[in-house]
Amino acid sequence: RKEVEQDPGPFNVPEGATVAFNCTYSNSASQSFFWYRQDCRKEPKLLMSVYSSGNEDGRFTAQLNRASQYISLLIRDSKLSDSATYLCVVNIWGSMRFGAGTRLTVKP
Amino acid sequence: NAGVTQTPKFRILKIGQSMTLQCTQDMNHNYMYWYRQDPGMGLKLIYYSVGAGITDKGEVPNGYNVSRSTTEDFPLRLELAAPSQTSVYFCASSGGGPLNIQYFGAGTRLSVL
């Protein structure tokens, strides 16, 4: 089993749609959790950290369920500029583990 | 606003050649990392360092070496390049702590032919 697994995608959605990405992790010792965004042929950039209480940043909402070892990202009112690959990342004692990423394409 | 700087941006190697990928950060971060990313795949950790003089293997260390003589620099060495090492290499740094948010360099695209 992979340490971090994500929806395989790709997701193709129209502008204005709401889209949700899921991620599961296998190591219960995981300490912190993130969503990163990666544009084509660019480096990953932090989108948001994920907390058990859930956190929101504008149109983006992230949720963590430690009991189920599950992380989610919800994007509301999708924009063309949201097109990218979204990486689920788990921190295990300073060693980061990345999911393979979910590709999102937002179409006009 | 330098952050994490990687050089070179692109490189083509012949099988068996050696090279060093350079990485430097100006954020005084203790933690530094090297990843590789193959097409359509996630990032795989090659080596990481929690401070000057300390390095440790990640998921895919074979064929690579690292050193960390200063806080700022974390070079990655390929001794005998193989086609399987064709990939995009990213260096990252972080301040550690509970969140350990990582900041990435722009990457080095390496082809081994």
Q: Give pLDDT tens digits for B69-96.
A: 999 999 999 989 999 999 999 999 998 7
pLDDT of residue B1: 67
Q: Is A43 close to B42, i.e. CB distance below 8 A? A: no
Q: Distance (Å, rounded) from C-alpha B113 to C-alpha A17?
A: 44
Of A80, A99, A101, A103, nearest to A90 by C-alpha is A99
Mutate to test the interface with A, among B102, B103, B108 (most CBs of A within 10 A): B102
Q: What percent of chain A has pLDDT over 70?
A: 99
**CB B38, CB B60: distance < 8 Å:** no
Q: Is A94 close to B107, i.e. CB distance below 8 A? A: no
Of A32, A46, A100, which has the smallest distance from its Cβ to B42's Cβ? A100
Distance from CA of A18 to the nearest CA of B (A): 24
SS3 B51: strand
Please report which confidence band the pLDDT of residue B39 belongs to, taking 50, 70 and 90 as the band edges. confident
- Chain A residues inside the 8 Å CB shell of B31: 94
Please report which confidence band the pLDDT of residue B13 belongs to, taking 50, 70 and 90 as the band edges. very high
Residue A1 has pLDDT above 90, yes or no: no
Q: Give pLDDT tens digits for A22-75.
A: 999 998 888 889 999 999 889 999 999 998 888 999 999 999 999 999 999 999
**CB B52, CB B67: distance < 8 Å:** no
Q: Distance (Å, rounded) from C-alpha B33 to C-alpha B85?
A: 17
